[in-house]
Amino acid sequence: MKSSVANGCMRVVPGSQTMDIQQHADTYVDDNLLSRGQEIEVDVDEADAVNVVLQPGEMSLHHVRIIHGSNCNGSDEKRVGYVIRYVTPEVRQHGARLQAILARGRDDFDHFDFVDPPPPDRDFAGAVEDMKESARQAVASVMQDSSAT
């Protein structure tokens, strides 16, 4: 599955990762797929944004602070976004605890609820669906908590 301008590929503003973390506003608008319609509270010159066009099998990595977003999918092609965040165990989530998989080393901080990846001899698809639902509920709790602040 490719990510193209036509299907609303991610766009980034180069250099914006050097800025402070941007405040977000919860818009709850219908045309925003984020849980609360979050948008940054800063004017972005669209001429500065760069399209991140990807072919099947490619991925992008970017800094958490880079200003990014996407336009609507104006095509009949599907588009998928998948997010993985690598953080050290001392990182603390505000609000409800989130699930994580310890990729390496050990955890001496107890800030996350660690889960084991599904074993290869089990129904992998079913196990992944169970993990996704559990994680979705935890994230929904965090997102709801943070909208009240």
From residue 135, alpha-carbon distances to 25, 86, 115 in Å are: 24, 16, 10
Three-state DSSP state, 52: coil
pLDDT in tens, 16-75: 999 998 888 888 888 877 778 888 888 889 999 999 999 999 999 999 899 999 998 999
- How much of the chain, in percent, has pLDDT values that exceed 70? 93
Question: Averaged over 84-108, what is the pLDDT?
Answer: 88
CA distance 47 to 114: 42
CA distance 1 to 33: 20
Question: Averaged over 87-98, what is the pLDDT?
Answer: 86
At residue 116, the pLDDT reads 82
How does strand 99-100 pair with strand 113-114?
Answer: parallel
Q: Is pTM, for the whole model, over 0.85?
A: no
Q: Find tokens 């010159």 and name the residue.
A: 45
